[in-house]
Amino acid sequence: MLRANSAEARDVAFQLHPYTNLSKHETDGPLIMSRGQGVRVWDNSGKEYIEGLAGLWCVALGYGEKRLIDAAKAQMERLAYYHVFNSKSHEPAIDLAERVLKLMPVPMSKVFFNNSGSEANDTAVKIIWYYNNAIGRPKKKKLIARHQGYHGVTVATASLTGLPNNHRDFDLPIANIFHADCPHLYRFGKPGESEEQFATRMAESLDAMIEREGADTVAAFFAEPIMGAGGVIVPPKTYFPKIQQVLKKHDVMLVADEVITGFYRTGNAFGTETFEMKPDILTMAKALSSGYVPISATVISEQIYQVLKKQSEKIGVFSHGFTYSGHPVPAAVAVETLKIYEERDMLGQVRRVSPRFQQGLRKFAAHPIVGEVRGTGLIAGIEVVANKETKERYDAKKGAGALLAARCQENGLIVRVLGGDGIALCPPLVINEAEIDELLKRLGKALDETAERLAA
């Protein structure tokens, strides 16, 4: 029973929560966080947790980074708001766009600012449709994403997202959005099939889908370098090179969704480098500002920009944008974030500590309830199974993934449930070896407790 007029009771009374069982929330109430420092957060009772998911995959520099706080304060005092509509601009947006383009793993031309990863991908959808209309291909509008992929929650991006609960009873997906096979070897590989053979089969399946739909109707393929919310699924070897051969054959754009994998998470500046992707459009958010303020970006190639420019000249305007596109405060914070990444050699930091993280997690592969440990850099997933040999899942009623996440939380580790069968880990990039060891210790205890409860 929630105490009357407590923060928990007021939350239940007034706030509608995303990704929450609303009925259960009314009974149990929220976990209310009150402060954070480094890789740790504290709830309003004073209990300490290691933030094992960097908030929602985003707080790369950890909590309490004074330079980001000061950057926001200074910009609010100087110019709290201005827009970038109608040829208006300001220095923070200009500086950020320049810095983003310099970081790009492939040549890119222009940066369009949004407020979230969902909006970044939604903007990509609109640009693709606009582009094909402009060059006289009004039929080439279909979009392909992947089962278990995640691209957002707007009407278009939730349609791209390949998770059933994002569609169920929302009347999604909308027309002309399709889902290719999920490239998860552990779950969908055939007996004896190598990574390379599985990747070939995935590419052949995509090729057949495009042929079936008609290449003259398929515009783009959306893909996360590592599939985040859908399971932290790392692509099999040779997957993206083979997929891109298919896309090139059919003149289909590649959109790299770097919302989670961008900014050193995989051990390179972007996941596109890690997995040999050459996108036409690249989207980012989250670590762009270390999650301190909302901002995202959609980055386009020169070829696309030239078509947009010509069409906007014909129409008289490029009629897309948000009130807060390029907002000066988030832009200033993002500029400072990128400066810190460079000055503190965040690439080197991730490469130094990620082996300890990955190797420590891989030891749990021998645990009785762990089917697979997967990941790279400072992102990983652990899948729970009832039978390690057959890969049989627990009965959904047992809620194995939710149980493990709850035991982690009880032991002072915040993680995220993945599809009911496991958890994701994605700690702040600034985590050190001692903190990794403590994270692993808490996770190990939670796994043991989960196994006991599942066996009961």
Convert the pLDDT of each residue in 147-190 to its tens digit: 999 999 999 999 999 999 999 999 999 999 999 999 999 999 99
- DSSP conformational letter for 228: T
Domain 31-64+347-455 in CATH 1.10.510.10? The answer is no
- DSSP conformational letter for 225: S
Looking at 214-345, list the stretches that DSSP marks H as alpha helix, in order from N- to C-terminal side.
Answer: 239-249, 271-274, 302-315, 328-343
Q: How confident is residue 456, by pLDDT bands cut at 50, 70 and 90?
A: confident
Q: How far apart are CA 281 and CA 272, in angstroms?
A: 11
Cα–Cα distances (Å) from 318 to 135, 305, 312, 326, 349, in that order, read: 15, 11, 5, 16, 41
On the question of pLDDT at 415 being above 80, the answer is yes
Please answer whether residues 237 and 196 qualify as being in contact, where contact means their C-beta atoms are separated by less than 8 angstroms.
yes
The tokens for 110 are: 């222009």
CATH code matching the domain that covers 68-343, chosen among 3.30.70.120, 3.40.190.10, 3.40.640.10, 3.40.50.460: 3.40.640.10
Return the sign of the alpha-carbon dihedral for residues 63, 435, 377, 51.
Answer: negative
Q: How confident is residue 356, by pLDDT bands cut at 50, 70 and 90?
A: very high
Could you read off the pLDDT of 86-122 as tens digits, one per residue?
999 999 999 999 999 999 999 999 999 999 999 999 9
pLDDT value, residue 5: 87
**What percentage of the chain carries pLDDT values higher than 70?**
100
State the average pLDDT for the chain: 97
Predicted model pTM: 0.96
The DSSP H or E segment spanning 379 is strand 379-384
Return the sign of the alpha-carbon dihedral for residues 85, 155, 292, 46.
Answer: positive
What are the extents of the domains in the chain? 31-64+347-455, 68-343
173 prior amide bond cis, ω within 30:
yes
Q: How far apart are CA 441 and CA 422, in angstroms?
A: 18
pLDDT value, residue 262: 98
Q: How far apart are CA 161 and CA 248, in angstroms?
A: 23
Span 375-380, mean pLDDT? 98
Chain centroid to Cα 258, Å, comes to 7
On the question of pLDDT at 1 being above 80, the answer is no
